[in-house]
Amino acid sequence: MALTAILLVMVGCDNTDQQSNDNQSENNLKTIVMKENYSEVANRKSFGPENALVTTPQPCVMIATWDHDHNPDVMMAAWAGQLDYNQIVISLSKHKTTDNLELTQAFTVSFADIRTVAESDYFGLVSGNDVPNKVARAGFTSTPSQNVNAPIINEYPLTLECRVVSFEDGMLIGEVINQIADESILTDGKVDLGKLQPIVFDAASMSYRSIGEIVGKAWGDGVKFQ
């Protein structure tokens, strides 16, 4: 019985060692494959998470609100995205705009374009707390929205009229009630980005870039790989 037990233990040790060797070989193979795959990006520069451009480029959205004296205020926000087909999400820290949002529960969103680069940048540089008439100072005008309690900035040809759904932990979620566009940026009744020529924020070079040229067909160019 003792001999049998010893033999079983020895066999067990042999099996364990063999399994360990197999696992080691498999790991070595995985390492080789990983190294071979990584060679494709071996010469790329690593920046670390603190300098990462998580999503780039960023749209330059212009948020317009009324203050407590019914003065229009505009700020630029470059951290925005579409949450749903009729919802927009914007990351905001404490601003005059956030105070206005609490007051009116509404805002409009326009899109900076190549014709309004300087004015849009100015709206991002100067706080309405310091310059209450900054919209007029930039030579811009406003019209009250017919759908939400917020101003429409006339010089921006494309505007979304939004109501506040929620604003928690710096994340503003707005429901798009209506979209209005100037005839000058439409083609066949649809917004034409080639005519709008919106700008985007390039965080890598701290600059604005224009977009508009069509380079491919959505839900079309990839069909050849199906």
pLDDT in tens, the chain (226 residues): 333 332 233 333 444 455 555 555 555 545 544 455 556 767 777 666 665 555 678 889 999 999 999 999 999 997 778 877 899 999 888 889 999 999 999 999 999 999 999 999 999 999 988 999 999 999 999 999 999 999 999 999 999 999 999 999 989 999 999 999 999 999 999 999 999 999 999 888 889 999 878 889 999 999 999 9
Strand ordering across the sheet containing 171-181: 72-77, 61-66, 106-111, 158-168, 171-181, 87-91, 80-84
Instruction: Tell whether 197 is covered by a domain.
Output: yes
Q: CATH code at 200? A: 2.30.110.10
134: domain range? 58-210
90, 96, 97, 99 alpha-carbon torsion, rounded to 10°: 100
Helices (H), 106-190: 117-125, 134-137
Residue 162 lies in a domain: yes
**What does the alpha-carbon distance between residue 27 and residue 33 come to, in Å, rounded to a whole number?**
10
Which H or E run includes 196?
A: helix 193-196
Provide the total of helices (H) and of strands (E) in the chain, helices listed first.
Answer: 5, 14
Q: Is residue 30 part of a domain?
A: no
- Taking the C-alpha atoms of residue 5 and residue 38, their distance in angstroms, rounded to an integer, is 49
Domain count, the chain: 1
Place of tokens 């690593």: 46
The reported pTM is 0.77
Q: Using alpha carbons only, what angle is made at residue 70 by residues 121 and 154, rounded to the nearest 5 degrees? A: 50
